[in-house]
Structure 1
Amino acid sequence: MKYIQHSSNLGEYMPVFFQMYLKVDGKIDLNSCLDRDFALFFHEYIHFLQDLTTTYGLTQCFYYGEYIQAAVNDIYKHDKGKFTIPIRYDEPAHHVKIADVITDTTMGDCNSDANEFNVVNVALDFIDNLPINCPEISHIYVVDVEPREGDFFSFGAYAIKESIAYIMERLVTKNYERSPEFPYCSAEKIVEYVFPELGKDILNVLALCDISLMFSNPAEVFYTTLIQLKRKKYIPNKPHDLYAQLKNAKVGSHGNLTGPFSHYKMVAEEARKKFESYFSIQMNNLKYIKHIMNG
């Protein structure tokens, strides 16, 4: 899974292995580079932070580690190291297959021709015919968006992450490159449709996106929280006040209910073990990653 901006002169960030590719001429000096180049770097760096400072991001890191562990164990089972690639796990009960299905479903659509759109309808739906054998997961909620009559896309974690990065890019830099409205303006468009008063301050949209990434299904949390705010007619005095919505939230973890921040710490610890065991990361980078996760 990787975040790819569709314009030919934008960038790409591949999570877990913490590698960025910036399509710029020559070396990049962040202290003296062009605004456009800095905007590119900043956008991708936001994705880097999303993978380390959110529960959803760290869960994906953990899933990568699970896949690598399973693949390595299978490779050792083959005579003289002979094996075919890609190594796939299609058994419905295999934990890697289950993780793949959860990720693909909650990530939502990554491509759409909705370069410019106005939301016609938004609905919370669920998928219950999942190709997995996992009694604990009978269905996964999805947010269906109709950008024009008869056309749909699934609003998920991918669009939420890109919405955050694009909002930040526009707030921090002057000469950013305009991106397609899907996925980069998806969150703003949904807020504008459901509860336009909240969206008058773009930082409210940013906070709502950020909050949603502290859960396993960000789009579900984004939409249900937005509906609750609308019903209460709640407009925060400042965007940071929206984080108070997390105080009473509960997350299922190993059969128990816990707060989202406690859950984040548990997921971070499991992800940290994967970093140290399976990923080739230089020690200085690992120290930096731990510092961010503990911050």
Structure 2
Amino acid sequence: MQIEEEILNELRGSYKTSFYSIYLNGSYDEDISKMSQKDQGTLLHEYVHYLQNISTPFGMYMSMTMYNLMYQSLHNIITNDTIHIPVNPVLSKQSVASYKNIMAVLGTKKLDRGQNIDWSKEIRVVLDTKDVEGTDIENAIFNVTLTDGKQVDIEIGAIIVMETMSALYQSLIDPKASHPDIPYNIIMKYCQKHYPRLASDTRKLICLCYASLYTLCPGAQLIRLIKDYGNNNSIDGYTAFYHFVYSHNVRRKVDGSLRTLTESVDEMIDNFKAMMANILTSKMEFFDDIFEPVRLSQKWVPVVSALYDKTPFSLNHLKKIIEYVGLPYIHTSYQQYSFPNLKGKSEASLDLIELIALQAVYSYFTTTKSDDKECELSYMCKGNKYNEDHCKNHPWTQEIACPFSVLCNAYEIDKKTIIG
């Protein structure tokens, strides 16, 4: 079982949620001012996904759900002498429930090919609550009319919230970037019809999207925030964001007590880091470092503060955020790849390398065999090391030393009988 929508796709790149990996269909330079405007915009778009992942309760909850699924699958692989591909372990009830909760709030990802929304028609908005494994899940639903006259329901879920926010941020550096309506533009076009003041205030709409990700039902929360703040010009996005996070309390499942959102996020980060320390054998470096600058208790939220600086948002603001928070793993269509290292450290952080290798192993062993299936990290071997038969059919063997084969050797997966 995998979260199929875990990869948030932008037209020229993607971000792999939970595995801190940015892919650019272009080129990357450590000095981002040397990159083309398109590549800069794409990097910003995917970097915003990274910030959503490490700083918001929804982003962390999505990752923790993914890790539980991965951990149980890898445990099955490691503890059995014979491995059948695809691996299909019996998962815990809690993991299944968390997975179903995530899937229930992701919402609509895209329209079928050739379908388009007729924006001249009215949009009917419904907030719907349903029980998913004992948890009340609230979704916002837009009933829209397509250009062929057909009416369809669009679930405004986390995918649309995250992509709306990233596309809006991207427009601040590359205003010519274009995207399909779903998942990127539907919120903006809805606001243009019903909340024109908000539609003309990119910074404020970004902040409302970001605030909604501090809940576990971002789509419904965003629609409520738009209703509350959409036509109120006296409150800017900075104020609206902090008003929400400082007034929103969270009830603990353990004892029913209420905590502030700041306390809740701090606790979630601590639990997240403890989970990573339990999964990884490498010393915690990257994961000990990246969460500290984005805690609400630090009182400097990069996503929001950069927008409301004294000068309009520019490439210099992105550079400042990267300097403050750091970069994830980056690879490109030019076969460039760059693992992050910590300040004052010349070597890449082994904990992130291990996590990326774990994800590649997990993906390979839980995916059904197909003609185009191969190790997700095969691009690292392109050139002298690349062997098509190895990367497609037996990447766990040791004739090519790469993160996949090194990890398989460490867990003695290469010594098992593998069928499939």
Please give the root-mean-square deviation of Cα atoms over the aligned residues, in Å: 2.7
The Cα of 1:280 is off from its aligned counterpart by 7.7
Within-5 A mapping of 1:114-263: 117-118=118-119, 120-128=123-131, 130=132, 134-135=133-134, 137=135, 139-148=136-145, 150-174=151-175, 176-229=176-229, 234-243=232-241, 244-254=243-253, 255-263=256-264
Partner Cα distance (2:125, 2:199) in 1: 16
The answer for the alignment partner of 2:83 in structure 1 is: 82
TM-score normalised over the length of structure 2 = 0.60
Which amino acid is 1:11 matched to? G
Whether the 8 Å contact between 1:123 and 1:144 is mirrored in structure 2 is yes
Partner Cα distance (1:43, 1:262) in 2: 28
**Alignment partner of 1:47: what SS?**
helix
CA gap of 1:162–1:89, structure 2 versus 1, over 3 A, is farther
5+ residue gaps, structure 2: 1-5, 299-420
Within-5 A mapping of 1:38-77: 38-75=40-77
The Cα of 1:274 is off from its aligned counterpart by 2.6
**Alignment partner of 2:140: what SS?**
strand
CA gap of 1:245–1:283, structure 2 versus 1, over 3 A, is closer
Partner Cα distance (1:145, 1:210) in 2: 20
The answer for the alignment partner of 1:97 in structure 2 is: 96
Whether the 8 Å contact between 1:159 and 1:183 is mirrored in structure 2 is yes
Whether the 8 Å contact between 2:27 and 2:35 is mirrored in structure 1 is no
The answer for the alignment partner of 2:279 in structure 1 is: 278
Whether the 8 Å contact between 2:9 and 2:15 is mirrored in structure 1 is yes
Which amino acid is 1:36 matched to? K
Of 15, 18, 21, the residue aligned with 2:17 is 15
The answer for the alignment partner of 2:351 in structure 1 is: none
5+ residue gaps, structure 1: none
**Alignment partner of 1:234: what SS?**
coil
Whether the 8 Å contact between 1:17 and 1:281 is mirrored in structure 2 is no
The aligned length equals: 280
**Alignment partner of 2:222: what SS?**
helix
Which amino acid is 1:17 matched to? F
Whether the 8 Å contact between 2:124 and 2:143 is mirrored in structure 1 is yes
Whether the 8 Å contact between 1:187 and 1:209 is mirrored in structure 2 is no
Whether the 8 Å contact between 2:28 and 2:39 is mirrored in structure 1 is no
Partner Cα distance (1:282, 1:41) in 2: 28
* Aligned residues with identical type, % of pairs: 16
Whether the 8 Å contact between 1:17 and 1:279 is mirrored in structure 2 is no
Whether the 8 Å contact between 2:250 and 2:259 is mirrored in structure 1 is yes
Which is worse superposed, 147-156 or 47-56? 147-156
Partner Cα distance (1:256, 1:190) in 2: 37
Q: Deviations over 1:79-98 (max 9, x none)?
A: x25354243557xx711111
Of structures 1 and 2, the larger Rg is shown by: 2
Q: Deviations over 1:102-157 (max 9, x none)?
A: 111111111115656536222111234x4xxx44x2x4211111232612211111
The answer for the alignment partner of 2:303 in structure 1 is: none
Partner Cα distance (2:129, 2:247) in 1: 24
**Alignment partner of 1:16: what SS?**
coil
**Alignment partner of 1:143: what SS?**
strand
